[in-house]
A and B are shown apart, each in its own frame.
Chain A
Amino acid sequence: MAWDFEVVEFPPADHVAEGECAPDFERPLVNDEYWEDAALSDLVAERPVVLLFHPMDGSFPATYVWKQVREREWRDYDATVVGVSISTPYAHKDLIEEVGIDHKLFADPGNGVAEQFGVVNDLDGMAGVSEPRPAAFVVDGDRTVRYAWVAGEWPEFPPYDEIEAAIEDLV
């Protein structure tokens, strides 16, 4: 049977796995009012962190993911939920406002954080542009990855229930 649409399968990713130490990084972290440099190690020192890698701001998956996070009220967890995309701080501020995001977003135009986590997606048809694959990592206070999910196909959305279970194990 022939499909008339194409779901792209990603090759296997050699990504940071559960039980491993999450690589530390520092990037501009954007809220609804300003941005300043912040390191993952600073965030985990306060509470567990959920890192959500998503496609560039303006793409429909970026909007869908943050709408889901809003509807599921992840802001009520005693955990810091942060996004990572290749978009600039200016674009992040617009997305935060348009979607009503209650979380901060890391700006990583060079896609280096996705490289550190092993979740790079080289975009077909956008020469020279790579961004993260959709991925989620739940990281504890020792920066140990307690839960990891990386998209195996494109598009694919995070398993929100599994992520919630991983957060609830930690808080």
Chain B
Amino acid sequence: MSDSDPPITLYRLQACPYCERVVRTLREHGIDYRSRFVEPMHSERNAVKRLTGKRTVPAIVDENTGVTMSESANIVDYVERAYGDGEVA
């Protein structure tokens, strides 16, 4: 929305532990992100489906790298590879 928008957008569901796992990883790496909250009903998550092909959350979009992905374990791996130990993707 503005020039200062963070490059990472996290699609999440309120109170979803898998989403919180991704949040914790992003915070641990000091990564700025924006949250978009979706509905509990899978059928109402077309915004996520358009991005990843699936309606599951968490899902992230990283504009730094052009990466879009879902599944918390995959996302955590990705974040650690891309942003862990001073490495930059």
Contacts and interface: CB of A to CB of B under 8 A. Distances in A.
A, B in one complex: yes
Interface of A: 28, 33-38, 42-43, 45-46, 89-90, 93
A34 B36 contact: yes
Give the 7 A-B CB pairs with smallest separation, nearest first: A33-B47, A34-B36, A42-B2, A36-B36, A42-B1, A34-B38, A35-B37
Majority SS of interface residues in chain B?
A: mixed
Interface string B1-33: 110000000010000000000000000000000
Nearest to B37: A35
Contacts, number: 29
A34 B11 contact: yes
A127 B45 CA distance: 36
A90 to B, nearest CB: 7
Contacts of A33: 38, 44-47
Interface of B: 1-2, 11, 34-39, 44-47
Contacts of A45: 2
B34 A36 contact: yes
Contacts of A43: 1
Nearest to B34: A36
A35 B68 CA distance: 19
A79 B56 CA distance: 34
A90 B1 contact: no
Contacts of A34: 11, 36-38, 47
A28 B38 CA distance: 12
B13 to A, nearest CB: 10
A34 B11 CA distance: 9
11 contacts: A33-B45, A33-B46, A34-B11, A36-B35, A36-B36, A36-B37, A38-B1, A46-B1, A89-B37, A93-B39, A93-B44
Contacts of B11: 34
A93 B40 CA distance: 12
A24 to B, nearest CB: 12
